[in-house]
Amino acid sequence: MQITTDAIVLRCWPVNEADLIVSLLTREYGKLKGVAKAGLKSRKRFGGALEMMSEVRVTFFERPRQELVRLDHFDLIESPLGRPVDYARMTTLSFFAEVVEEALPDRSPEELAYRLLAAVLEYDSGEQMWLAITYFSLWMTRLMGWLPDLGTCSLCQQPLLRRDAQRDAQRYAWFDAVSDGLYCATHRKPVSLPLSHHSLQLAQKMVRTPLAELAGLPWNMQFAADLRRFAFQSLERHLERRLRTAEVLRRMASQRTAQV
Ligand SMILES: [Zn+2]
């Protein structure tokens, strides 16, 4: 059966002499892998569309009893190479690819994940990359069903944000690497890390606000850094492994902080 759908290229690697295996997030069929026969040579069928995070219209054939589809050709919609790619942007794109690869099951339609990925790709460079990374990691946590209630302490159910703004400025919610949830000051663990009042409010806003509406905030690597740490930890705990690209982003942030 021949199928055509929108997709975003996650990764590709060579097999045999000239073939490629391509991992894709498709709009309608979820994440899938396919073989691009002679993909290394055939610029006409795949040329320019095999870069990580290329948005393409892909035509493929299902193969009976085979896990890999046969990729027929790609029509490029948008290439990440249309804009300059520096180390920070490459790391950001790799982070999106790694999280999608690790978190989403194969062949399970995830249109929200597709739309999320397409949306964050609009903000993948400059200081806005920190918006894209924060929004993407929090939303992926949510789409996977791993995001705790952002309003109340996971133990006592007391509200984490109160109306007393004067006191709230000093208040934190707490999270840790070993358990799900957000906790009040009473129920935090000794190893817990703080999530500021501001970042908690931002997280609550993020889960009900389109990405574009958050673009006016003063994004940089310090802004909402605790919220990113919380989202990265949630993803890594559930994936039961460290994310290689999250590690690079953490290092990038700590190095630049050290230079200031
Ligand atoms: Zn509590």
pLDDT tens for each residue of the chain, 260 residues long: 899 999 999 999 999 888 999 999 999 999 999 999 888 787 778 877 889 999 999 999 998 888 999 999 999 999 998 889 999 999 999 999 999 999 999 999 999 999 999 999 999 999 999 999 999 999 999 999 999 999 999 999 999 987 665 565 557 899 998 899 999 999 999 999 999 999 999 999 999 999 999 999 999 999 999 999 999 999 999 999 999 999 999 998 887 666 55
CA distance 73 to 42: 10
CA distance 146 to 231: 10
Residue 99 Cα, ligand 1 centroid: separation in angstroms? 31
End-to-end CA gap in the chain: 57
133 and 255 assigned to the same domain: yes
CA distance 76 to 53: 11
250 and 150 assigned to the same domain: yes
Residue 235 Cα, ligand 1 centroid: separation in angstroms? 23
Residue 71 Cα, ligand 1 centroid: separation in angstroms? 52
Structural domain count of the chain: 2
Instruction: Give, as one character, the DSSP assignment of residue 106.
Output: B
123 and 147 assigned to the same domain: yes
CATH of residue 36:
2.40.50.140
CATH of residue 108:
1.20.1440.120
Residue 156 Cα, ligand 1 centroid: separation in angstroms? 4
Q: Find the domain containing 54 and state its range.
A: 2-82
101 and 60 assigned to the same domain: no
140 and 47 assigned to the same domain: no
**What residue type is 232 in one-letter code?**
F
Q: Contact, 84 vs 112, CB < 8 A?
A: no
92 and 67 assigned to the same domain: no
Instruction: Give, as one character, the DSSP assignment of residue 103.
Output: H
26 and 119 assigned to the same domain: no
Those residues whose beta carbon sits under 5 angstroms from the ion ligand 1 are: 153, 155-156, 184, 187
**Global confidence as pTM:** 0.93
172 and 111 assigned to the same domain: yes
71 and 130 assigned to the same domain: no
CA dihedral 94, 174, 222, 140 (to 10 degrees): 30
